[in-house]
Structure 1
Amino acid sequence: MKKSGIIIGIIVVFVIALAFTLDFNRNKVIDWTETYNEKSNKPYGTSVLYKELPKLFKGHKMRTVYHTPSNYLYANSEDGYGDHVAYGSYLIIGNSDYLEYDDVMELLRFTSNGNTLFISDYNLPEKFLDTLNIEIDAFKNTDSIAHLKFNYRGLEERHTQIDKSLKSYYFSTYNGDNYKSLGHHSNDRSFSNFLEVPFEDGFIYLHLEPKAFTNYNLLKDQHYTYVEGVLSYLPNDNLYFDSFTKYYDSYYGDVQEKSDLSWFLEQASFRWAWYTALILTLLFVVFNARRRQRVINIIKPLENTTVGFVKTISNLYFETQDHKNLIDKKIIYFLEKIRTDYHMDTSTLNDEFISTLALKSGKKYETVKKLINFINWLRTKNEFFEDNLIKLNKHIEDFYSK
């Protein structure tokens, strides 16, 4: 046993020495991808901005939107099925190219009702540009540095510059009543990059340098004061932070490709601690494989296989994230129970069906209406999220509890 202990000690020393050697020679590569992800600490993530926004808009609700504007704003409108009516400021930092026609129209409707839309990106969807009569152009930066300045007095000390910027984008055309240029590039005010656009009862703020809001620039010198100056134009109101593309990329990309252990394995100290623990465990098994006494059989009580089966099926659905399958099954089982308990035809879920079900079940008409309308709405969708499943389950529980 003494000899085996010496061998284990030698192996441990060798592994630790190897870990230090590899870590010392390891080249750390910085990821400069412009993700604008609010959960990313990489240079061009927006985690710093995301953490500071509640302080800048203190006393108001901040919500992170993981759905497209067409779905989220419609659901949280006066005629929708959301948990509130959306009002305040809607922020989109980078990656705005995912916006489709329905998203643009819903954002314009949201703004026309007296709310505020803020978009910072190099370019904007064609529908936005056509509707607002705006054109965007660009020029190459000297030494890859973009100089950002405000147009009005009182903000001179908040001017900033963005390095690693090959091009600067500006509004080459913005013909509209009461359009106001709030900022520009370099010393030439004709290269406007920050625009205020009145739109019916609300305002649209368009900004063409999203890198100003990233971790790298916010933590560099006093560059954060520029972002404070930009956001000072927004009203002190509720805030909606767009995270649809960032959530989509991380949820359907990284989560499927990497395990929960991947982050630890990317850190040299944690990685070698993990490897050392595995090696020591393997050595312990090898040198202690021979048992010192006869095995004592353990008689296990009979397991409740029903509970195990339910857990297995639940874990299967949880791992696959097949929200559509679960939503379809919940709707099928609910309608089957309606047919069984109240002897009703569920092929057509219209107003007459809602009234009849409310009378037969003794439930409130509004409760039944919300549930059936939400089921009809779900049947029109092709893509589902966890939030849809939670809301469907809540409506069904409300039906049985009231």
Structure 2
Amino acid sequence: MKKTFKIYAVIFIVVMVILALLEVNKKETTNWRKNFNINEKSPFGLFVFNNEAKDLFKNNLKKIEQTPYDYYTQHKKGVHNIIVIEKELDKESWKKILDQVSNGSDAMILVSHISKDISDSIGYHSSDISFEEENVLKLTDKKYQNDFIKLDKFPSGRGFSYIKPKVEVLGKTVEKNNSDQANFIKVQFGKGTIYAHSEPLFLTNYYLLKPGNIKYAQDVFSYLQDRETIWFVENDTKVSRFFMRFVLSNPALKYAWWLFLGGLLLFIFFNAKRKQRVVPVLEPLRNTSVDFVKSIGNLYLQEGDFHDMMAKKAQYFLNKVRMDLLIDTQNLDAEFAKKLQLKTGKNIEMINEAIVLIRKGQDPYANVMKEDLTRLNKLLDEILK
């Protein structure tokens, strides 16, 4: 027993020394995660904007860590401004915000994704409009034509693919190889106004610290009236009361702590294993479903009936579209292709090619080759991915 313990102790010390050496020589890595955290100094945090927001709103800004639903349930407010920056809100919170706007308040919504039922009620629908690695955000007002931001790091490519007639476009995404797409709009909602921006990335540390970029942010918020402004932020500023917070906040100590716990558990496990009785091994019941599917697939391949396999693949795909995407598949026409493209966000050329192959599989007199089956299978899997 003592000899075994000494071996474990030596192994533990050696591993600890190796980890310490690795930690000392470790290079600092940049966290490029889009966290939109007001306390994060990483490239895509909101630390800079949080510090500048007080001056930007003339000390008339109030940060709220509650959800809009909880806040407005407890407080009765007059007309004011509302700001939401890349924050996930439940449906009831959105309804509370819309109620405030309908009574005369203004809301600045800077989010890349918003639930479709809420966006449809406002008058727009957001989707992917760009797949370029770089693009430029510009405002349509002539007095702001010299103020713009170039997004050269991980732009979301989000914009407004559907806008009701009464919606005013205030800003666009500009690219070299594509036409301009709306990314900043103004919507009259009841007595108030909703401003929606689909690319909140311009408020992050990486872009605001670049010379001249802060002017674009000032222009965007200049559309809000000079009055009390409420900014709903994440509730992540509270200090942990956990007694191990110092150890866990330091990477080297944290790794050492978890390694110690892991070594202790291994020691207990192997020590207990030596003393417990032998447990007989019971083979689990074998699941033959996969074998059955493989056998059926091999049978089809041996028969060479690619037409039947293609028809069944098409039938399964259309049933999936009806059940999951709620799209009528009776007529595989241009309208069906457009609906499928909007629901899946896939390329319309890919969808049209898949529809042609589906029709070919449904045609009992069509000559189906193995290449057709392979291509259809690849397209349908890509569409439903």
TM-score (norm 1): 0.53
Identity %: 22
Gap change, CA 1:36 and 1:86, over 3 Å in 2: farther
1:90 is the counterpart of 2:82: yes
| Superposition map of 1:3-402 within 5 A | 25-60=25-60, 62-77=61-76, 85=77, 87-96=79-88, 98-100=89-91, 102-142=92-132, 144-165=133-154, 167-177=156-166, 179-186=167-174, 190-243=180-233, 246-247=234-235, 255=240, 259-261=244-246, 265=250
Tell me the distance in 2 between the aligned counterparts of 1:207 and 1:214.
14
3-state DSSP of counterpart to 1:92 = strand
Shift of 1:125: 1.9
Gap change, CA 1:225 and 1:264, over 3 Å in 2: same
Please list the CA deviations of residues 314-342 of structure 1 after superposition, one character each: whole Å capped at 9, or x if unmatched.
Answer: xxxxxxxxxxxxxxxxxxxxxxxxxxxxx
Residue ranges of structure 1 left out of the alignment (5+ in a row): 1-17, 78-84, 272-402
Tell me the distance in 2 between the aligned counterparts of 1:67 and 1:183.
30
The equivalent of 1:366 in structure 2 is: none
- The residue type paired with residue 38 of structure 2 is E
Gap change, CA 1:235 and 1:140, over 3 Å in 2: same
Instruction: Quote the RMSD (CA, aligned, Å).
Output: 2.8
The equivalent of 2:314 in structure 1 is: none
The equivalent of 1:395 in structure 2 is: none
Please list the CA deviations of residues 238-270 of structure 1 after superposition, one character each: whole Å capped at 9, or x if unmatched.
Answer: 111111xx31x565xx8378955369735x9xx
- The residue type paired with residue 160 of structure 1 is I
Please list the CA deviations of residues 107-129 of structure 1 after superposition, one character each: whole Å capped at 9, or x if unmatched.
Answer: 01111111111111112122321
Tell me the distance in 1 between the aligned counterparts of 2:153 and 2:87.
18
Tell me the distance in 2 between the aligned counterparts of 1:167 and 1:103.
24
- The residue type paired with residue 104 of structure 2 is G
Tell me the distance in 2 between the aligned counterparts of 1:184 and 1:169.
11
Q: How many pairs align?
A: 234
Tell me the distance in 1 between the aligned counterparts of 2:78 and 2:244.
36
Gap change, CA 1:57 and 1:172, over 3 Å in 2: same
- Contact 1:117/1:204 (8 A) holds in 2: yes
Tell me the distance in 1 between the aligned counterparts of 2:109 and 2:65.
16
- The residue type paired with residue 216 of structure 1 is Y
3-state DSSP of counterpart to 2:250 = helix
Tell me the distance in 2 between the aligned counterparts of 1:73 and 1:216.
33
Residue ranges of structure 2 left out of the alignment (5+ in a row): 1-17, 254-385
Gap change, CA 1:145 and 1:69, over 3 Å in 2: same
- Contact 2:126/2:198 (8 A) holds in 1: no
- Contact 1:104/1:127 (8 A) holds in 2: no
Please list the CA deviations of residues 164-204 of structure 1 after superposition, one character each: whole Å capped at 9, or x if unmatched.
Answer: 22541111111143x21000011677510000111111110
Shift of 1:24: 6.7
Shift of 1:226: 1.1
3-state DSSP of counterpart to 2:159 = strand
TM-score (norm 2): 0.55
Tell me the distance in 2 between the aligned counterparts of 1:235 and 1:259.
46
3-state DSSP of counterpart to 1:182 = strand
Tell me the distance in 1 between the aligned counterparts of 2:125 and 2:232.
24
Tell me the distance in 1 between the aligned counterparts of 2:75 and 2:174.
41
Gap change, CA 1:263 and 1:234, over 3 Å in 2: farther
Shift of 1:34: 1.5
Gap change, CA 1:165 and 1:260, over 3 Å in 2: same
